[in-house]
Amino acid sequence: MTKLLRTTLATTLSVCLAAGLGACSMDDDPREGLAQHTPGAVGIVGGTPQRGGTLTVLADQDFPHLDPARNWVMPAMDFGIRLLYRTLVTFKAEPGRGGTELVPDLATDLGRPSQGGRVWTFTLKKGLKYEDGSPIRAQDVKYNVERSFAPQLSGGPDYARRYLAGTEGYEGPLDGEHLDSIETPDDRTIVFRLNRPVSEFSQTATLPTFSPVPPAQEKGTRYDLRPFSSGPYKIEKYSKRERMVLIRNPHWDPATDPVRKAYPDKIVVRMGRNGAHIDDRLIASEGEDASSVQWSDTQPDSMPELLADTSKSAPRKRLVAEITGCTDMLHLNTSKPPFDDSTVRKAVQYAINREDQVATRGGPALNEPATSYLPPTLTGGDRVNPLDLSPTGNPGRTRELLTEAGLKQRVTADFTVSREDTARAQAIQKDLSRIGINVRIQIVDPAVYFDTIGDARKAPDMSLSGWCPDYPSGATFLPFLFDGRTIKEKGNQGNYSQFRDGETMERIDEISVMADATQANQAWRELDRQIMRKSPAIPLLWERRPLLVGNNIAGAFGHSVWSGQLDYAVIGLKHPEKSSSDRGSNAS
């Protein structure tokens, strides 16, 4: 991508994003909730942190993956990239539009394209080291990119598979095979040869796939439990579904890293906590909890209490609610009846009461009904509605479509959901029961949810997930949801609808090689409308991510790139001496 194109795209997207970014202002009428939020009115909650102390993260779940070849869930990507490993390029640690700006990380610049964007070259900074003091080499970045092809290390971003030349049949480096399309002429230079021009490859290099893993540290699937640190922290202890303790990496050099500030001495993640209990602890903000933040969203049932309190010390002043830039969807498995019929799928579009979905996720202060796949952040700020969907559903249109489809008797569909989405699933169950579809709900633990629905051969008829752009471009959205060539038997990601449509795939290929970013963005919007008419998935919500922090927390804001998750690069404590040291896995 030329500098002009890169700047134009970033400026356009920043303008689109600006209407909903920044930490939320809590000076508005509580009856309007967060809808009256003025970006930047508070900016960063708690001011500038001081160095030291223990930051506690209260979580209701474990990380799906932390292996950088497998890490492709937005909050976990934020955690891994900001704390444990560095990538060739990253995003600024700033709220709002500033967070969409690319900056070099391991590399000295944003990458140098040649041969019309088919070749990209990066040079590593001098003095980069791992947690044991050994040097970070370009060959280690190559190795981790190659690891992303290994079938046993499934679940991560597949941009390398899409973009690199000569990858057909390649299954990773674990058996000693390597890619010729990644060259490392010396320890500090890495060259990627692509199968087509990719103007946005600098953005692609922000993903955890493009972080280093030294071959000597390879542990296969067990690398998930102990990624070898190139970032400011390293893992001291990790008990799955219980606790993780991070301590400083003494060989991380802040002189090479202008993004990460690494304020706390220690970060403790306490897992398996009940979401409502976490809310109660952070609302009270006493003892250790004053130096704590929450991992998953504030519970919908807690929102009325939070928004109603207008006192000077109201907990809502500690609530961050960044727009996620994501679209929450109901995926319909198009590989088998009844959802192999596009007319039945479209009937579901009109059957869903999206206002009920809004209510189950905290109300209109934190959500709005979604009427297209691309979120407003990728459509110039417009709320696109190509099917003229009503927020409460359209029973008349639903009946017309079911008659057209010839669905004359009741059918049964299996619906797998994460435990935290039970209420939402029950609302959808009610909606579909009215149109002759009996829904059987299966509830699974959040930690295994994506692995469960990602088993293509055993996938349910319906599932819920959101999709967020890996960086602000339609190229990171529609192809991953609706290109049939991305479907995997194990570790399927994005295309949970198993949608294989020749016309859609042909158009994806045409848009992907467009050199003009403005033309490509417009083409993605039109493709969004076309796929909506085929309805492989049902857009439900455009959300904010509400996250409470304790009253001793400083530097807290939701990062717009990582779906509104707190930016762990710069978060810390107001008064480190008031934080508690880790007291073991039995601490409450």
Closest CA to 223 of 59, 85, 61: 85
The set of residues, in sequence order, having a beta carbon less than 8 Å from that of 203 and lying 6+ positions away, is 89, 102, 470, 471, 472, 473, 476
Span 54-108, pLDDT tens digits: 999 999 999 999 999 999 998 999 999 999 999 999 999 999 878 989 999 999 9
The set of residues, in sequence order, having a beta carbon less than 8 Å from that of 586 and lying 6+ positions away, is none
Domain of residue 474, CATH code: 3.10.105.10
- Is 15 a member of any domain? no
CA within 13 Å, CB half, 350:
20
d(CA 514, CA 518): 9
- Is 12 a member of any domain? no
Spatial contact of 517 and 525, defined as CB atoms under 8 Å apart: no
Span 200-259, pLDDT tens digits: 899 999 999 999 999 999 999 999 999 999 999 999 999 999 999 999 999 999 999 999
The conformation of residue 581, written as its DSSP 8-state character, comes to: P
Whether residues 345 and 312 share a domain: the answer is: no
Whether residues 296 and 200 share a domain: the answer is: no
d(CA 247, CA 235): 6
The set of residues, in sequence order, having a beta carbon less than 8 Å from that of 476 and lying 6+ positions away, is 203, 469, 470
d(CA 7, CA 17): 15
pLDDT per residue of the chain (588 residues) written in tens, 0 to 9? 222 222 222 322 222 222 232 233 223 333 233 333 323 234 699 999 999 999 999 999 999 999 999 999 989 999 999 999 999 999 999 998 789 899 999 999 999 999 988 999 999 999 999 999 999 999 999 999 999 999 999 989 989 999 999 999 999 999 999 999 999 999 999 999 999 988 889 999 999 999 999 999 999 999 999 999 999 999 999 999 999 999 999 999 999 999 999 999 999 999 999 999 999 999 999 999 999 999 999 988 888 888 888 898 899 999 998 888 899 999 999 999 999 999 999 999 999 999 999 999 888 878 899 999 999 878 877 899 999 999 999 999 999 999 999 988 899 999 999 998 999 999 999 999 999 999 999 999 998 999 999 999 999 999 999 998 988 789 999 999 999 999 999 989 899 999 999 999 999 999 988 877 778 889 999 999 999 999 999 999 998 899 999 999 999 999 988 999 999 999 999 999 999 765 544 444
pTM reported for the whole predicted model: 0.78
The set of residues, in sequence order, having a beta carbon less than 8 Å from that of 444 and lying 6+ positions away, is 416, 417, 418, 419, 452
Spatial contact of 326 and 468, defined as CB atoms under 8 Å apart: yes
Could you tell me the residue range of the domain that residue 133 belongs to? 64-224
Whether residues 109 and 160 share a domain: the answer is: yes
Whether residues 361 and 486 share a domain: the answer is: yes
Backbone angles phi, psi at 425, to 5 degrees: -65, -40
d(CA 194, CA 159): 11
Domain of residue 175, CATH code: 3.40.190.10
Whether residues 315 and 333 share a domain: the answer is: no
* Residue environment code for 364-386, b if the CB has 16+ CB neighbours within 10 A, otherwise e: ebbbbbbbbbbbbbbbeeeebeb
Using CA of residue 476, residue 482, residue 485, residue 489, what is the dihedral sign? Answer: positive
d(CA 232, CA 586): 27
- Is 30 a member of any domain? no
